[in-house]
């Protein structure tokens, strides 16, 4: 006898909710989930494999619960005088976010976000029993200090989510917005910097604001710039006291010894790994330029993807691309689609297809 979720004693606040649903399809050109489409360099891959192999020899023992070497490596990578006691890591930035909300959110607490933004912010918030409330953005998908201050005063949240640069729009966020949010909020302000490495090189990270702000947390990921999406490594920079709070909710030994070894090895090659970023940014900018020439509105982006509007029928264009072996993301933003920057060949395939679709070929 078939049953449905309605037949199970599911929490009332989860009924009717939808899980994260990015399509998973085997296609020739996958540009829908903002992956780094560039392969890891062979010498880096070899070092990672050797490091994981060495860790396997001791896999009968529990891993370092404090993942000390990894935290030291991440602190050195981020710079700005950060130390290991200011760093946290978990299995992807989503787990970092979940741990933050377990510690500072939960039943009876309110989380403020600014859609359109990263969908997992609201999904994880509801998953731990927090009330998710939506703030308004300015007309160009950005946030001004005045807007963020007004929305915090209106909603009085326990946790504020800021996505810098924003996903799915790619739009920039200036540091004065983060400062305004921190000054206005009584609780935690989390800045999600998943795409920070794709920002202009002269633009400062929110980690430069950490000193003297114990309620400010800055999350990062190795999935994007480090081409490490399958390894699931996210991390956080914050005041040591905020890191202590996460120890109260993390599962014991939550980062496997294999994950730790792989991440430390990748960080040893950060210069080589990040060399891919310049090429990705070049392909992103090429997408913006060509989509604009084709008559679409490509929004300014500091990420590895482009949101473009002026699409009369997004679903039809999505399907037309899929027929050509190319998948992008239909985010249900009226008149818009989002596309990740790929390799030069992948970007060419996408742009040629968009040109054909525009011309009705």
Domain edges within the chain:
21-40+272-359, 42-268
What pLDDT sits at residue 14?
86
Which tokens belong to 254?
A: 């939550």
Give pLDDT tens digits for 207-256.
999 999 999 999 999 999 999 999 999 999 999 999 999 999 999 999 99
Which tokens belong to 359?
A: 């011309």
What pLDDT sits at residue 21?
67
Backbone angles phi, psi at 134, to 5 degrees: -110, 125
Quickly count: other Cβ atoms within 10 Å of residue 335's Cβ: 13
CA dist 208 and 42 (Å) reads 34
Q: Categorize the per-residue pLDDT at 283 as very low, low, confident or very high, splitting at 50, 70 and 90.
A: very high
189 within 8 A of 205, measured Cβ to Cβ: no
Which tokens belong to 247?
A: 């120890």
Where would I find the beta strands (DSSP E) of the chain?
29-30, 87-90, 110-113, 131-134, 159-163, 188-192, 216-221, 234-237, 297-298, 305-309, 326-327, 337-340
CA dist 201 and 281 (Å) reads 11
Give pLDDT tens digits for 265-274.
999 999 998 8
Which tokens belong to 141?
A: 């998908």
For tokens 């991390």, what's the residue? 235
Quickly count: other Cβ atoms within 10 Å of residue 253's Cβ: 12
Give pLDDT tens digits for 184-206.
999 999 999 999 999 999 999 99
Closest CA to 162 of 152, 224, 198: 152
Q: Categorize the per-residue pLDDT at 67 as very low, low, confident or very high, splitting at 50, 70 and 90.
A: very high
Task: Output Rg (C-alpha) for the chain, integer angstroms.
Answer: 21
How far is C-alpha 360 from the chain's CA centre? 35
What pLDDT sits at residue 361?
53
217 within 8 A of 100, measured Cβ to Cβ: yes
CA dist 224 and 229 (Å) reads 7
Q: State the average pLDDT for the chain.
A: 95
Quick one: angle between helices 42-56 and 270-293, nearest 10?
A: 130
CATH number of 21-40+272-359: 3.90.1150.10
Any idea what DSSP says for residue 43? Answer: H
Q: Is the dihedral of CA 151, 99, 36, 336 positive or negative?
A: negative
Q: 85 pLDDT exceeds 90? A: yes
Query: What kind of architecture, by CATH, is found in domain 42-268?
Result: 3-Layer(aba) Sandwich (3.40)
336 within 8 A of 314, measured Cβ to Cβ: yes
Distances (CA, A) of 252 to 21, 23, 90, 172, 242: 29, 32, 12, 37, 18
Q: What percent of the chain has pLDDT over 90?
A: 88
Give the largest Cα separation in the chain, rounded: 61
Which tokens belong to 113?
A: 């976000």
Which tokens belong to 284?
A: 């992103």
Length of the chain measured in residues? 361
The structure's pTM equals 0.94
What pLDDT sits at residue 327?
96
- In order, the DSSP letters of 146-166 are HHHHHHHHHH--SEEEEESS-
3-state secondary structure 58-78: CCCCCCCCCCHHHHHHHHHHH
CA dist 177 and 170 (Å) reads 16
Q: What percent of the chain has pLDDT over 70?
A: 99
Q: 162 pLDDT exceeds 80? A: yes
Distances (CA, A) of 289 to 37, 292, 307: 20, 5, 13
CA dist 270 and 203 (Å) reads 19
């Amino acid at each position: 006898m078939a049953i449905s979720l309605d037949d199970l004693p599911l929490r009332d606040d989860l009924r009717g909710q939808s899980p994260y649903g990015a399509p998973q399809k085997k296609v020739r050109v996958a540009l829908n989930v903002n992956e780094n489409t560039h392969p890891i360099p062979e010498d880096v891959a070899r070092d990672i494999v050797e490091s994981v192999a060495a860790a396997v020899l001791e896999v009968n023992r529990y891993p370092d619960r404090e993942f000390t070497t990894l935290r030291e490596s991440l602190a050195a990578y981020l710079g700005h005088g950060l130390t290991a006691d200011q760093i946290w890591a978990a299995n992807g930035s989503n787990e970092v976010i979940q741990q933050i909300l377990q510690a500072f959110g939960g039943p009876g607490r309110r989380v403020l976000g600014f859609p359109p933004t990263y969908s997992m912010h609201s999904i994880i918030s509801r998953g731990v029993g927090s009330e998710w409330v939506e703030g308004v953005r300015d007309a160009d998908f950005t946030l001004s200090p005045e807007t963020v201050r007004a929305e915090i005063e209106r909603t009085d949240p326990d946790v504020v989510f800021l996505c810098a640069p924003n996903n799915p729009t790619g739009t920039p966020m200036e540091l004065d917005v983060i400062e305004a949010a921190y000054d206005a909020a009584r609780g935690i302000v989390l800045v999600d910097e998943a795409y920070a490495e794709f920002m202009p090189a002269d633009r400062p990270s929110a980690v430069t604001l950490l000193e003297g702000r114990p309620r400010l947390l800055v999350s990062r990921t190795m999935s994007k710039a480090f081409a490490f999406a399958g390894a699931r490594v996210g991390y956080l920079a914050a005041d040591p006291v905020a890191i202590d709070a996460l120890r109260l909710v993390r599962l014991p030994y939550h980062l496997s010894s294999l994950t730790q070894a792989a991440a430390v090895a990748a960080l040893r090659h950060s210069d080589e790994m990040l060399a891919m970023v310049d090429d990705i940014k070049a392909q992103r900018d090429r997408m913006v330029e060509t989509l604009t020439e084709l008559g679409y509105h490509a929004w300014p982006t500091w990420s590895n993807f482009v949101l473009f509007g002026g699409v009369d029928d997004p679903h039809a264009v999505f399907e037309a691309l899929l027929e050509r072996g190319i998948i992008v993301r239909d985010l249900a933003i009226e008149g818009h689609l989002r596309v990740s920057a790929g390799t030069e060949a992948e970007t060419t395939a996408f742009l040629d297809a968009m040109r054909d679709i525009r011309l009705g070929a």
